[in-house]
Amino acid sequence: MTTVLAIDQGTSGTKAMVVDGSDRVLSVVELPVRPRYLSGGGVEQDPMELLDSVLESGRRAVAEAGVRVDCVTLANQGETVLAWDPATGEPRTPAIVWQDRRSAEICAERAESADLVARRTGLVLDPYFSAPKMRWIRDRLTRDGVVTTSDTWLLHRLTGEFVTDVSTASRSLITDLDTAAWSPELLEVFGLGDERLPHIAACDEIVGETTAFGGRAAVGGLVVDQQAALLAQRCLEPGEAKCTFGTGAFLLANMGTAPARSGSGLAASVAWRVRGETSYCLDGQVPTAASAVRWLADLGLVGGAPDLDRVAAPDADGVLCVPALAGLSAPWWAPEATASFTGMTLSSTAGHLVKAVLDGIAAQVAELADCTARDTGAAL
């Protein structure tokens, strides 16, 4: 029976889990990673910290399980990008995180292509997605090396291959949703026509081998983290949906095996390609959920997420918060939006502010649920 090391490399942490052929979880190790929040909407991570967290969590999980793994799988952040040297594997830039809004101007300069981008990709011309950040790196940081999503770099460091998966590629703004292939027309929109791009693999494709976690193991099972969660929650039929709360909150709905487009402002993507069949999903995003809680903790209003129930007031007493700490995504698509509190008085307390932030997150999720219901034709 096959024993699998499953790794989820996320924005706030990396989790590694060893599962045996009977679906028993033998070990779980989670290590934190911390983004750097910069002025002007910048959000960056140290690529080597991401790699080290993958290696360390995976090795510790294998050691705790006390078994040899046959296969390594990887879920990734989706739209986080960096430039790196394909000869040495060394990063040339920080990892520019999906929350980063500094490429908003690049999107604004291409506003006349917004309809084309939406038709071809099912997405919105927004700095949330990969291509604007790729262009920003080329304009502002370096023209050297290759510029790819973080999964391609991590997989290269593990296997030596140059590959991404179809769900990650579909989040790029340079992939045609109907063909799941790189689009020359969209590459020209972003001035990326001369870039070397990775092979797009199916999610269940074995893309290489690694010895990073002990003996030689196959590497496959590649997918964006939120699509992985949709699959893990067994949302296998059209209309079935889940909402995952992590750094952000993400509501995804399975739309079946025909490419879908949203009429309500959601993003459309490949969910996965498995056993030769491609499934699609609609996706709504709240950019700051746990990251908003971390912001509250950094300000000293709470000690952390375990403190929320204790600190939050029963109601916000008229205080309202739009927690747009990294802009607003679906269905508003306002990367320039910033967070705000209103309704505060001299009687407002830290508990009211904390409750208002939580209410603001919940209100965004409720709006995404309404959008999803309109697109699927059924209430969630």
| 254, 375: one domain | yes
| 197, 241: one domain | no
Single-letter amino acid code for the residue at 69: V
Say how many domains are in the chain. Answer: 2
| 335, 209: one domain | no
pLDDT band of 338, cuts 50, 70, 90: very high
| 140, 244: one domain | no
Instruction: Decide if pLDDT at 238 tops 80.
Output: yes
Predicted confidence at residue 49, as pLDDT, reads: 98
Instruction: Decide if pLDDT at 188 tops 90.
Output: yes
| 43, 180: one domain | yes
What average pLDDT does range 166-175 have in this prediction? 98
What average pLDDT does range 200-224 have in this prediction? 97
Percent of the chain with pLDDT over 90: 98
Instruction: Decide if pLDDT at 380 tops 90.
Output: no
Q: What is the mean pLDDT of the chain?
A: 97
Nearest one of 61, 237, 50 to 152, comparing CA atoms: 50
| 164, 264: one domain | no
The range of the structural domain enclosing residue 332 comes to: 234-379
| 297, 344: one domain | yes
Going by their DSSP bridges, the two strands 181-182 and 25-32 should be labelled as unpaired
| 308, 212: one domain | no
Report the alpha-carbon distance of residue 71 to residue 313 in Å, rounded. Answer: 47
Using the CB atoms, write b or e for 244-275: b if 16+ within 10 Å.
Answer: bebbbbbbbbbbeeebbbbebbbbbbbbbbbe
Q: Domain boundary at 179, 200, 227, which?
A: 227
Report the 10 Å Cβ neighbour count for 8.
Answer: 23
What average pLDDT does range 166-184 have in this prediction? 97
Predicted confidence at residue 7, as pLDDT, reads: 98
Q: Domain boundary at 204, 227, 250, which?
A: 227
| Cα 214 → chain centroid | 28
The CATH number given to whatever domain includes residue 62 is 3.30.420.40
What average pLDDT does range 308-336 have in this prediction? 96
What average pLDDT does range 348-368 have in this prediction? 98
Going by their DSSP bridges, the two strands 249-256 and 241-245 should be labelled as antiparallel
Predicted confidence at residue 263, as pLDDT, reads: 96
Single-letter amino acid code for the residue at 186: L
| 178, 295: one domain | no
pLDDT band of 46, cuts 50, 70, 90: very high
Predicted confidence at residue 138, as pLDDT, reads: 98
Instruction: Decide if pLDDT at 1 tops 80.
Output: no
- Any residues with CB less than 8 A from the CB of 122 and at least 6 apart, and which? 170, 177, 259, 260, 261, 262, 267, 268, 269
- 86-131: per-residue pLDDT in tens? 999 999 999 999 999 999 999 999 999 999 999 999 999 999 999 9
Q: Domain boundary at 201, 227, 253, which?
A: 227
CB-based contact 7:72 (threshold 8 Å)? yes
| 174, 272: one domain | no
